[in-house]
Structure 1
Amino acid sequence: MPSNIDRKLVALDIDGTLVTYDEVLSDAARDAVAAVRAAGHHVVLASGRSLIAMTPIAAELKIEESWIVASNGAVTARLDATADTGYTLERVETFDPQPVLRMLKEELPHARYAVEDVGVGFRMTELFPDGELNGEHRVVDFEELWAGHVTRVVVRSPGETSDEFHEIAARLGFDDVTYAVGWSAWMDIAPQGVTKASALEEVRKELGIAAEHTVAVGDGSNDIDMLRWAGRGVAMGHASDTVRSAANEVTGSIDDDGVVEVLRSLL
């Protein structure tokens, strides 16, 4: 077991990093995570997924006590097997979604919109395709999406490309929020300044881990800040050039179980 000075904080994205896009977690990845934890390092799942969509992955990895960063950094929790929910909320960052929702509705009147209710599910203007959002789904009028402050807004518009989403965001000048665009026409919007990196930095301080002893692995645009934050940022081999350029190194793709190579290098 390494001393606290030598212990690392290992931040792992889920989709496209630990788990395939078909929701498969390989035995090799599961074993590598277990070995890294057994060696005394802190494995922290960090995802754009909601908290209730992350806890099943933690359970599959047999992680019962650890920090977890959800909703692209807006929600930080500690896994706790003694809690009724299996976790305790440590930090929840929220914002008023009304201004950005009104602007987006002008640009994308036919898009689907949803806001997250932490630990419950989502309120949405219409149902999303099965499997895209977890928890309870409640269809509401558009104006009900800003009934209170929220951790995240999700915009889904199959008629647009990722590039077009970036162009819309740039044109609207999202000065008061942080946004991330997915592989498809999907956008996550979080409070200003809130990213996986901002949440992980707070976790790092709580754990007393040196900044140079942080490792992060990811594949998406929402991982860019996290890869830059880490002492050792590793991009998956299938990541875009923009994501790869934010990392210190590149590993194999999700099809090659690239994360396993990184995890084994820590042993």
Structure 2
Amino acid sequence: MSERPQVTPFRPTAVALDIDGTLIDHDEGLSPAVVDAVRRTAAQVPVFLATGRAWSTTMPVAERFGLPTGGIVVVSNGARTMRYPDGEVLDERTFDPRTVIASVREHAPNARMAVEEYDGTYLVTAPFPEGDLGKNAKIRVVSDDELAPEPVTRLIIRDPEQSEADFVRLAERLGLHGVGYFVGWTAWLDIAPEGVDKSTGLKVALAQYDLDASGLLAIGDGRNDIEMLTFAGHGVAMGSAPDEVKSVADEVTKSVTDDGVAAVLNRYF
């Protein structure tokens, strides 16, 4: 009688972590248990923050967790991969958003739009709700024509008067071609270069350490985490994630308010 082949237990060689709804709650709250788990993990393997946030609002989070100097963060949903804390750009993907801007004005005339400049300033067509673009974000209001004179890493669309479901339908109506998109946890739509998602930046990050995705542990809670979770050797969805995110994950952990990230990392590190 032949023996069954042994299954090698998963052992992470690197970790990718979403920020909002995964590491911190929507009030920017940070659990000491999660901080301790992430710091302990970062002392043993590379830890990559992989977020829809801009570099300017990601760097303070890396500082709060005390991530090692010389580490890598994936920002703007994978459109920009950078070294921390000096801001060296390792990879950048851009697109021309002018056609999308015109389509948004046609289908959602009251929507607010924003793009991020290199210095971290947001150009916006109208002020966003307080805190949406990060605490203390630098913002400059411009016209639609002034919003994107050059290619950008992403275009943000926001309408506080609409719902998440409304924006799922809006994305379908916009007839987006040549770009990708992610619907956020509220009436928020991120438009990205075609074929670019968090896994795009993580491939660059892993290559810096001569690692591959088979040893990557990834944890996230949003629709923009789906590609990251399926790319990783082991993908974990937060307990508060939408069903479509949970369905692609290898595991579902507790919510951010119940220290779901710590529960996973403490098993390995």
TM-score range (shorter-chain normalised) is over 0.9
Q: Paired residue for 2:3?
A: none
| Paired residues for 1:33-48 under 5 Å | 33-38=38-43, 40-48=44-52
Q: Paired residue for 1:97?
A: 97
Alignment check: 8 A CA contact 2:107 2:173 kept: no
Output the aligned Cα RMSD.
1.3
Alignment check: 8 A CA contact 2:55 2:120 kept: no
3-state secondary structure, aligned to 1:147: coil
3-state secondary structure, aligned to 1:265: helix
TM-score by length of 2: 0.92
Q: Give the CA deviation at 1:7.
A: 6.1
Alignment check: 8 A CA contact 2:81 2:204 kept: no
Unaligned residue ranges in structure 2 (runs of 5+): 1-10
Alignment check: 8 A CA contact 2:16 2:47 kept: yes
3-state secondary structure, aligned to 2:268: coil
Asked if 1:57 corresponds to 2:56, the answer is no
TM-score by length of 1: 0.92
Q: Paired residue for 1:133?
A: 133
Q: Counterpart of 1:181 in structure 2: which amino acid?
A: V
Q: Distance in 1 between matches of 2:12 and 2:186?
A: 37
- Alignment deviations for residues 40-62 of structure 1 (CA, whole Å, 9 cap, x no partner): 21100011111110100101111
Q: Counterpart of 1:230 in structure 2: which amino acid?
A: A
Q: Counterpart of 1:99 in structure 2: which amino acid?
A: T
3-state secondary structure, aligned to 1:87: coil
- Alignment deviations for residues 136-161 of structure 1 (CA, whole Å, 9 cap, x no partner): 21111111112111111111112322
Q: Distance in 2 between matches of 1:133 and 1:172?
A: 23
Q: Counterpart of 1:159 in structure 2: which amino acid?
A: E
Aligned residues: 256
- Alignment deviations for residues 83-114 of structure 1 (CA, whole Å, 9 cap, x no partner): xxx32121121110100110111000011111
Q: Give the CA deviation at 1:198.
A: 1.3
Alignment check: 8 A CA contact 2:56 2:120 kept: yes
Q: Distance in 2 between matches of 1:216 and 1:155?
A: 27
Q: Counterpart of 1:9 in structure 2: which amino acid?
A: A
State the identity as a percent. 43
Q: Give the CA deviation at 1:34.
A: 1.1
Q: Counterpart of 1:45 in structure 2: which amino acid?
A: L
Q: Paired residue for 1:109?
A: 109
Unaligned residue ranges in structure 1 (runs of 5+): 1-5, 81-85
